[in-house]
């Protein structure tokens, strides 16, 4: 079920059939190495989950892909083009919803459409904005402002706004992490329905620290270790789609994969603690 982690460096950066290619990517902040020599190749249309504990570099890696940060070393391409900064080719959904509070839902989405398709008239943008809000189940709330909405509804609005950009790559940074369990499940299913129902599937990179969420959503799970962040496993999730939540979560195959992921994290943690103990022992002259 696992893929070779070393396969990515053999893939040419300029290939357009890959949504994203990262080669030897490293990043440091204030002299501290956050990510170390990351190789990753994601075919166009694949749903990839970045999974790891807090502080392992998941969000940093997503920001590098988005062009919001610059790697200390290595290169990143998206559909054959070098990533050198933010681009409408890569839409981002953050955990904190990031809607403009002084704008209605329709105005928020219309603003994204104006950026992506400036030739459209205002009336055309408003009609299309309402269509995207209908896609996420907010067709009756387009006049409302973010402060009048629940957290789940705000995140639906943020997803609608990002989808309105028409970006072939969708980057999501723990978008459901702040939601209650019921809304989290609803938005997971909504996201899968939108992604799978698209004529041309987007390349999705979804950051999470929730193992079950990663297995349920992803075609593939990239597990990040820590100190500094690196890929410790690359797992293909070959459960057929569409996925029936209860049947899948109760299956032996799901439990086995969840156990494998948990064991890998435990193994990585033990290795890191042993390394830190050894370094401490040398420093103390033990």
- Strand, helix or coil at 223? strand
Is residue 163 in some structural domain?
no
255 lies in a domain? yes
Interatomic CA distance for residues 182 and 151, integer angstroms: 12
N- to C-terminal Cα separation, the chain: 43
Model pLDDT, residue 277: 65
Listed in order, strand segments (DSSP E) in 30-67 are: 32-43, 47-51
Residue-wise pLDDT tens digits, 54-79: 888 999 999 999 999 999 999 999 99
- 214 within domain boundaries: yes
pLDDT category of residue 115 using cuts at 50, 70 and 90: very high
Could you tell me if residue 36 is inside a domain? yes
Q: Is residue 31 part of a domain?
A: yes
Least confident of 76-80, 105-109, 214-218, 226-230: 226-230
On the question of pLDDT at 6 being above 60, the answer is no
CATH assignment of the domain containing 256? 3.40.50.300
In a domain, 218, yes or no: yes
The single-letter DSSP state of residue 229 is B
Task: Examine residue 179 and state whether it is found in any structural domain, yes or no.
Answer: no
Determine contact, residues 236/3, Cβ cutoff 8 Å: yes
Give the model confidence (pLDDT) of 30-51 as tens digits.
888 899 999 999 999 999 999 9
Q: How far is CA 129 from CA 91, 134, 182, 252, in A?
A: 16, 9, 26, 43
User: Is 108 inside any structural domain?
Assistant: no
Share of the chain above pLDDT 70, in %: 91
Residue ranges making up the domain that contains 56: 5-89+202-283
Split at pLDDT 50, 70, 90, the class of 7 is very low
Number of domains in the chain: 1
């Amino acid at each position: 079920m696992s893929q070779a982690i070393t396969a990515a460096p053999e893939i040419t950066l300029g290939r357009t059939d890959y949504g994203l290619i990262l080669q030897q990517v490293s990043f440091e902040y204030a002299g501290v190495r956050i990510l170390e020599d990351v190789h990753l190749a994601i075919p166009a249309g694949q749903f990839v989950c970045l999974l790891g504990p807090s502080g392992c570099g998941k969000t940093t890696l997503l920001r590098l892909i988005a062009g919001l940060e610059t790697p200390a070393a290595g290169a990143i391409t998206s559909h054959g083009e070098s990533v050198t900064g933010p681009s409408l080719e890569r839409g981002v959904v953050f955990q904190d919803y990031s809607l403009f509070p002084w704008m209605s839902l329709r105005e928020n989405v219309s603003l994204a459409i104006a950026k992506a398709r400036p030739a459209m008239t205002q009336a055309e943008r408003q009609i299309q904005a309402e269509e995207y809000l209908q896609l996420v189940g907010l067709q009756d709330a387009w006049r409302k402002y973010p402060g009048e909405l629940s957290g789940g509804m705000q995140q639906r609005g943020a997803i609608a706004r990002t989808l309105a950009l028409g970006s072939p790559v969708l980057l999501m940074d723990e978008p459901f992490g702040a939601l209650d369990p019921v809304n989290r499940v609803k938005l997971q299913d909504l996201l899968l329905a939108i992604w799978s129902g698209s004529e041309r599937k987007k390349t999705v990179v979804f950051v999470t620290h929730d193992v079950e969420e990663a297995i349920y959503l992803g075609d593939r799970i990239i597990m990040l270790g820590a100190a500094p962040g690196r890929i410790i496993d690359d797992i293909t999730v070959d459960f057929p789609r569409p996925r029936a939540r209860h049947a899948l979560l109760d299956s032996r195959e799901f439990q086995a994969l969840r156990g494998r992921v948990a064991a890998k994290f435990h193994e990585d943690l033990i290795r890191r603690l042993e390394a830190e103990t050894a370094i401490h022992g040398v420093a103390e002259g033990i």
